[in-house]
Structure formats: C-alpha cells, structure tokens
Amino acid sequence: MKHSTQMFAESDLNNRNRRYEQLFKTLFLLMTLLLIIPVLVILGTLIVKGSGSLSIEFLFTEPTNGMTEGGIFPALLGTVWLVSVALLISVPLGVAAAIYLSEYAPDNWYTRIINLAIINLAGVPSIVHALFGVGAFVIFFGFGTSILAASLTLAIMTLPVVIVSTRESLQAVPHAFREACWNMGATRWQTIRKVVLPNAVSGILTGVILEVSRTTGETAPIMFTGAAFFLPYLPQGIFDQTMALSLHLFVVATQVPNVPESLPYGVALVLIGIVLLMNTLSIAFRMHLRSKKKW
C-alpha cells in the first residue's frame, strides 16, 4: 500500500514537471516564432507592394523624371562596381590574414592584439568607417569621392567577415593532416598549399559569398566616399563616382518628393532579393559541403 502511494505521488510530480516543461517549450517556441514571423510578414508586404514595379525594364533602364520614374540600372551597375572592387581588395587581404592567424601565428601578445583588432574592426559603427574613408581615402590619399575610395572603405569594413570565415574553414581541416605533412619534411607553406587550402577553399568561397551580401547592403560607408544620390552618366573607372542600389533606396524613400509608392518598394525588393539570394546560396553551398565528407 505504501509502495503504491509513493508511486502515485511520483507520477503526479512527473506529470506536473512534464506540464511545466511543455509550457516552457511552447513559450520559447513562441518567442522564436515571434522573432521570425513579423519579418516574414514584412517581407511579404515588400513583395506584394514591390513586385508591381519589377520588370526587366526596371532593372535595365535609367531613372527618369527626377527619379520618380524609370529603372535602377545605374544603381545596380554601381553596386556591382563597388562590390567587385571591394572584394578584389578584401578577399586576398582577408584570406592572407586568416592564413597567418590559423597557420603561422604563435600564441602570443601580438596575435592577441591582431584578434582584438579584428573584433574591433567588425564592431566600429559603419558611419565611423565612413568618416575614416573620407579622412583617409577621399582627402588624405586624394582619391576624391570615387569608387576606389568607397570600395576601400567597404573592403576594410567587411575584412573581418572574410578573415573570420576563412580562418574557420582553415581550422576545420584537422591538425593531424598538417602534422603528417610536416613529419614528411613539408614546409608550412607546402602543407597549406597542398593539403589545407584545397580542403578549405569551398568554405572560404562560402564566406566570400556572404561578404558579397554584406557589402551589397552597406549604405553609410559609401554615402560620402563615392556613392552619389543621382548621376546622369555611368561610371567609367574606379576614379568615377557612382550610384549604388542601397543608397538609391534611401534616396527614393526619403529625399525625392512625389515618388509613387511602388518605386521604393521595388528598389527594396531588388536589394533584399540580391542579399537573400547570396545568403541562401552560401547556406546551400555550406550544407552541400557538409554532406560531402572527405574524412
């Protein structure tokens, strides 16, 4: 008899605990969903209101009539310019820095300072990067407001993205492979070139795609360094100013009077489409890699 009451009491306690657990689980799920659902609703609104202005023509014609009509071609092309030049600078630099940190750097005070600098570089507000770009590239180095100055600013700002993702992919290659190579008399560089990099390159690419996405969306750093509100001509080289998609959204949303509502929605949709496409690509690529185990 005593035995059975004890059993009963225990199962009662268990039931209560299970109810609590279920309650908390539901609560946390709700919070997660509340984080995601508004954003999905917002994205839906963007699509509904913006898709009307989307067309091939929208993508490939110039804005007309004081930017209240026409397309976004100069802004789109400008973003391609800015992102390409920024990547040409930041990818080699970032990959090299990551190789140093992952493969050569001893565990000492200056490596710690480098790591701290990377964290800070990522944490400095984008508008301060813009000020730096103005002070350093526009004025001091005399590049003026140009694609070069803007892309340098973007490159430095997104450098931590490349460094961190590259370092992660390098370190995902097991240390035992390196030791095996060193034991055969390979130098660090031979080991990196023949074993580490070939096995990290897809991971690095994933990070680069992510950087394309980041760079495409940045606005503040290019506002005063190379991107213009409106230009009647297309950029011909890296010393020209250019329009940019992100800044164009800001301009048509806030600076231009009498813009039909669908136009800024269309620009926002294109911008977010590019960014999310890049991110999805990067995620898909990463999952593909994970499924293709090489060791």
Partner 1 sequence: MATTKATEQLDFDRYNQEWYIDKLVQGVVFLAGISAIVFVLGIFIFVTMEGIGFLFKDFSLSQFLLSPWWEPTDDDKPTYGILALIAGTASVTGLAMVVAIPFSLGAAIYIGEFATGKTRETLKVLVELLAAIPSVVWGFIGLSIMNPLIIDLFDVPVGLTVLNAGIILGLMAAPIMTSIAEDALKAVPDRYREAAEALGATRWQVIFKTILPAAKNGLLGAVLLGVGRGFGETMAVLMATGHAINIPDSIFDSVRALTTTIAAELGETAVGSPHYEALFTIGIFLFLITFIINLSADLIVRGIRNQ
Partner 2 sequence: MVSQTEKPPKFSVKDLTIRYGTTPALSGVSLEVEENEIFGIIGPANAGKTSFLKVLNRMDTMTEGMSYEGEIEFNGINTRKLRNLYALRSRIGVVFPLPVGLPLSIYDNVAFSPRLRGINEKKRLDQIVEQSLTRAALWDEVKDRLDSLGSLLSGGQQQRLTIARALSQDPDILFLDEFSIAVDPVTTMRIEDVLVELKQEMTIILVTNLVQQARRLTRRTAFFLSGECVEVGETEAMFAGDVKDSRTSDYIEGRFG
Interacting residues with partner 2 (CB under 8 A): 106-107, 176-177, 179-188, 190, 194-195, 198-199, 294-295
Tell me how far, at minimum, the Cβ of 287 lies from partner 2, in Å.
19
Binding status of residue 105 toward partner 1 by CB under 8 A = yes
User: Do the Cβ atoms of 89 and 75 come closer than 8 Å?
Assistant: no
Amino acid at 101: L
Instruction: CB nearer to partner 2: give 185 or 257.
Output: 185
Q: CA 33, CA 218: separation in Å to the nearest integer?
A: 27
Q: CA 148, CA 156: separation in Å to the nearest integer?
A: 12
Q: CA 203, CA 43: separation in Å to the nearest integer?
A: 29
Instruction: CB nearer to partner 1: give 38 or 198.
Output: 38
> Cβ atoms within 10 A of the Cβ of 133, count?
28
Site for partner 1 in 232-291 (CB under 8 A): 246-247, 249-250, 253-254, 261, 264-265, 268, 271-272, 275-276, 278-280, 283
What would the two tokens of residue 93 be? Answer: 């630099």
User: Do the Cβ atoms of 246 and 79 come closer than 8 Å?
Assistant: yes
Amino acid at 46: L
Tell me how far, at minimum, the Cβ of 198 lies from partner 2, in Å.
8
Tell me how far, at minimum, the Cβ of 28 lies from partner 1, in Å.
4
Binding status of residue 29 toward partner 1 by CB under 8 A = yes
Binding status of residue 189 toward partner 1 by CB under 8 A = yes
- Contacts of the segment 133-136: beta carbons below 8 A, 24+ positions apart: 133/221, 133/224, 133/225, 134/224, 134/225
56 binds, among partner 1, partner 2, none (CB under 5 to 8 A by kind): none
211 binds, among partner 1, partner 2, none (CB under 5 to 8 A by kind): none
Binding status of residue 109 toward partner 1 by CB under 8 A = no
In angstroms, the first-to-last Cα distance of the chain is 59
Binding status of residue 190 toward partner 1 by CB under 8 A = yes
Matching residue, tokens 């990290």 = 200
247 binds, among partner 1, partner 2, none (CB under 5 to 8 A by kind): partner 1
176 binds, among partner 2, partner 1, none (CB under 5 to 8 A by kind): partner 2
Please, where are the H alpha helices in 172-196?
A: 175-183, 188-191
183 binds, among partner 1, partner 2, none (CB under 5 to 8 A by kind): partner 2
Instruction: CB nearer to partner 2: give 181 or 271.
Output: 181
Nearest C-alpha neighbor of 206 from the set 174, 173, 172, 165 = 165
Please, where are the H alpha helices in 51-136?
A: 56-60, 73-99, 109-123, 126-133
Tell me how far, at minimum, the Cβ of 172 lies from partner 2, in Å.
12
Q: CA 33, CA 46: separation in Å to the nearest integer?
A: 20
Instruction: CB nearer to partner 1: give 42 or 59.
Output: 42
Tell me how far, at minimum, the Cβ of 11 lies from partner 1, in Å.
13
